[in-house]
Every structure is written in C-alpha cells, then in structure tokens.
Amino acid sequence: MSRQVYLDYAATTFTAPEVVSAMTPYFTQSFGNPSSIYSFSESNRKAMGIARQQVADVLGAAKEEIFFTSGGTEADNWALKGVAWRNRSKGNHVITTKIEHHAVLHTAQFLQENGFEVTYLDVDAEGRVRLEDLKNAVTEKTILVSVMFANNEIGTIQPIAEIGAFCREKGIIFHTDAVQAVAHVPIDVKAMNIDLLSLSAHKFYGPKGVGALYVRKGIKIDNFMHGGGQERGKRATTENVAGIVGLGAAIELTASRMKDASSRVGKLRNMLIDGVMKVIPHAKLNGAPVSERLPNNSNFSFIGIEGETLLLDLDGAGIYASTGSACSSGSLDPSHVLMAIGLSHEQAHGSLRMTLGEETSEEDIRYVLSVLPAIVERRRAMSPLWEDFLKNTQGGK
Amino acid sequence: MYSEKVLDHFQNPRNVGEIENPDGVGQAGNPKCGDIMKIYLRVENEVITDIKFKTFGCASAIASSSMATELVKGRNIDEAWNLTNSAVAEALDGLPPVKMHCSVLAEEAIHAAINDYRRRKGLPVLEGKEYDHEHDHAHQH
C-alpha cells in the first residue's frame, strides 16, 4: 500500500468511531419522530436534549440558546438574514469582513440586493481585523457585525473578545462564524460577548449535514424555516436526530481533547512550517504567526507554480491538500482571502493549504517534507514566471 | 475530471524547456488569470524542427501546451498557424468546459511565436482569432 496522507482537515474531518457508535441506535432502533407524543419517542427527545446541553457546555451557553441546523452555511444564512430582517426598523447597515467564508459573504451580498448596506472591513497583512476599522465603520444605522472567529484558509484568529465588548457597548448584535474554531480553540460566548455563533459538526469529528446556531437569549431573529414547531418554532422540519446526537457527542469528545490535541497537532504543524520554509526557496507562509492562528493550519505560497498543479502532483504522491488558486474553483480570481491580505495574483494562484488533525503523525509530516520540495522544483523548472522571478531577483541585487 | 490523456501530458509533459537562440518566441496569458504560456521555436526551411514550452498554470494548461507542441512539431510554419484550440482540446480527448481557455492560450502562444518568427524574417504579422479572456472566465461562474 502506498502512503496516504490526509491534510485537509479544515475541509472536513472523518467522523470519530465513538461518534458513529453514539449515532447508530438513532437510525435503526430509536427512530421515532421526536414530535410524536408516545413514549417510544421519549428517548429521542431526551437524546436531543443531551446533545443541546453538550453544545451549550462547550460554548458556555445555556441549552435554550442552541438551535440545530443543517450545518455552518445554514447557521450563517440564518444569523445574517434573520437578524437583518428582524431588526430593519432600527437600521439597514451590516458590517462584515473581506475574508469571511462565502456562506457569510454571499449572504451579505444578498442582503445588499435587498436594500441593506454592507461594509466589508479590510484586514492586515496577517489577516486580522483592526478594531479601529470596525469603530470607524459603525454608524447609527448599524444593526449587525459579523466577523469570523478564525479564518478557514489562513487560520488567523480574530480579536473576538474585543469586537464583542465593543459591539455590546454599542448595542449592536455581534455574530461570529466559528465553524473552524469550535472545539479547537477555547470559546466562551458570555465572556466574549458573542450574540450569535455558527458551528458545524463535520469540522470536529462529527457527521456532515448538521450544525448549530447559538442565539443569545433576548436577541431578536426571524424564524428560518416555517412549518412545524421544531426548534421552538424557529427552524421547522423533523429533526435529524442521529446527526444531532453525533454533533453532541463530537463536540464533547473533541473539546475534551482540545488541550492535548492542539499541542500535539501544533507541534507537527510547526515542524511542517519550519521544514517547508527551510527546504523550499522563496516559500511564503500566508497568515499570522503560529501563536495567532489555528493550531492545525498552514498556508504557503510558492511563487512560480499554480496551485492546482501542486494539488494534483501531491495527489499522485498520496497527499491530500487544498489551494486558493482560481483554477481549483473555476472562477477568474484566486482566493478572496489571499487577495485581502495583499498577495499578488501569482502568489495567490500558487497557494497551498495543509491542515492537520487527529490522525496526522510525525511520519506523515516527514513524508510530505520528503516529497514536496521535488514537486515544487520540478514545476518551477517548467514555469516562465519562475524564470522571470529569478531574473528579477538576481537583477535586483 | 480530466481525461487520461490530459493527465498523461500533465504528468509527463513533452517538449518542456527553452531553445537557445530561438527563431521565434511567443507568450500568451497573464498572471491574473493564473496562466502564462511561453513557446520557443526553431524553424528551418519554413518547418518547425524544434519547439519547447514553459507554462505557469493548472494541469490543463500544462497538458494543452504539451499537446500543442506535439501537434505542430515537424509541421510547415503555415500549417502550424492553422492549429486551433479545439484541435488541441480534441487531441487531449476533451477538456472540462471551464478549462477550454487553456487550449485557447496554447493557440495564442503558438500564434505569438510564429508572428515573432515572421517579424524577425521581415514578413508581415498575421491576425489571429480574437478571444475575450475575461468573458471566457466570466461564463464559468
């Protein structure tokens, strides 16, 4: 068997075996509709209550503040649209950032098409929002601020507590897309003054297709799906019981391992970054220093090479990673995140994201470090951009 | 996503490199779109006796360059001018629709190299087909 190294944990994780075991009875045995009043469904109602508590505990929230969704994208859609529409009598201005996930960005654009004004904050070269910029952007019409907890591409962690404190003081509702951060870095919605928070189970060893939105008690938000009385009437549809149980089990499991996992994964990630920066000439680490980014995230640019090329070569070596190149998405522009931190098109097209996780071993990292330099060298040798780059750097000396 | 041929030409590209003192050099694409193709020609008695390429771009850009160089190598310079992007794509057993512009770049790079050769020879440059790259890309969303 040739070696397979999965380094795309930010895209999705496997579902932990313990989580699968917790879920299984809710497919085959305890399958009753939670809305049915007979005793057969009682165990399902109970199981969802436990899951709700498990999520609440990890966030420092109350059980009644957790609403299950189909995932992070739905939670983001609900947070932005629900708050904007419900509070439009108070104002029509929303503030977010240029580096949000498309689930937030495209929802914000949708709001713009429907009469709202949206400000997209710039970030610094390491991907951090400046509190000053936020303060300057606020007007008396601002009803909502949405800033992600940690970026999915470059891993930069935002000053969430500072933003939360500022918004609370101003009486502006504050939402954070914490899909990449939950159960990986400490979060306390009360201490951080977070009003709404999105999360998704498959980013922390839970199943795909289930997530949650935390809505602080007292925050006014429109209902998302209209129908039955599920999720206290805010989000109708028969609950994904097994998924919800999986979400609860996964968040508890991953959060309980957080400290050890982030130190172990962080060390391997640092080894990867050090190795790449040492061995590959003109490699660039995109994003913040390791102390201010998600412990499992690395993101590089290799000038002269296009990202899809790198991914396919790595794929050939059994290594699974991701890129911010346009060619991988079929659109003209490379990653909006990499452009927002000031990378050139060439650098953004030549980016490589490797995100580590539970099953990443030191051997895996050694293997990547043994394979990647030769791939970069070979592709650079056939790149006219690399040729120009060498001429310019030598000429400049 | 890609045909066997595309993957083969991506993994083992033919005619990679440069030609010293070439008889024609041409380039197409720009870093903004993430593709740049550079073609070097050696021409003897109006026949392309050698051709090399260097490409920055995705797998289909590299495969298109490789295939295009194979298709025109040994051809008369006027025949080579008539190479179309669809001929390149067909020879690769097709490209995904969002990657068709890669074959267009190959056609343009070869045209640019041939025109460079003509310029050096004092011949009038030829008009290639006009492609709207921004437009090409816009359709892919």
ipTM, interface predicted TM-score of the complex: 0.90
Query: Is-catalytic flag, B102?
Result: yes
Which pair of tokens denotes residue A116?
Answer: 């709202």
Residues of B in contact with A386 (CB under 8 A): 56
Per-residue pLDDT of chain B (141 residues; tens, 9 = 90+): 899 999 999 999 999 999 999 999 999 998 777 899 999 999 999 999 999 999 999 999 999 999 999 999 999 999 999 999 999 999 999 999 888 989 999 999 999 999 999 999 999 999 887 776 654 443 333
Paired tokens of B33: 């779109």
pLDDT the model gives residue B107? 95
Cβ B22 vs Cβ A388: under 8 Å? no
Q: Can you tell me whether residue A200 is helix, strand or coil? A: strand
Chain B residues within an 8 Å CB radius of A308 = 58-59
Cα(A278)–Cα(A369) distance, rounded to whole angstroms?
10
Of A304, A325, A387, Cβ closest to residue B34: A325
The enclosing H or E element of A372 equals helix A362-381
Q: Of the given ranges (A170-179, A386-395, B8-17, B86-95), which has the lowest mean pLDDT?
A: A386-395
pLDDT at A332: 61
Q: What percent of chain A has pLDDT over 70?
A: 97
Task: Please give the Cα distance from A153 to A353 (Å, whole number).
Answer: 7
Does B58 lie at the interface with A, CB-CB under 8 angstroms?
yes
Distance CA A192, CA A188 (A): 6
pLDDT at A31: 94
Rg for chain B, CA atoms, rounded: 14
Indicate the pairing of strand A93-97 with strand A142-146: parallel
The confidence band for A1, taking pLDDT boundaries of 50, 70 and 90, is: low
pLDDT of res. A244:
98
CB contacts, 8 Å: B33 with chain A? 326, 332
pLDDT in tens, A296-346: 999 999 999 999 999 999 999 999 999 987 665 556 678 999 999 999 998
Name the pTM for this structure.
0.94
Closest CA to B87 of B76, B70, B78, B98: B70
Q: Across the A/B interface, how many CB contacts are shorter than 8 Å? A: 74
pLDDT band for A24, please (50, 70, 90 cuts): very high
How confident is the model over A91-113, as pLDDT tens digits? 999 999 999 999 999 999 999 99
Instruction: Please tell me if residue B32 touches chain A, with a CB cutoff of 8 Å.
Output: yes
CA distance B118 to B104: 21
Render pLDDT for A37-59 as a digit per residue (tens, 0 to 9). Answer: 999 999 999 999 999 999 999 99
pLDDT at position A331 is: 61
How high is the mean pLDDT of chain A?
Answer: 95
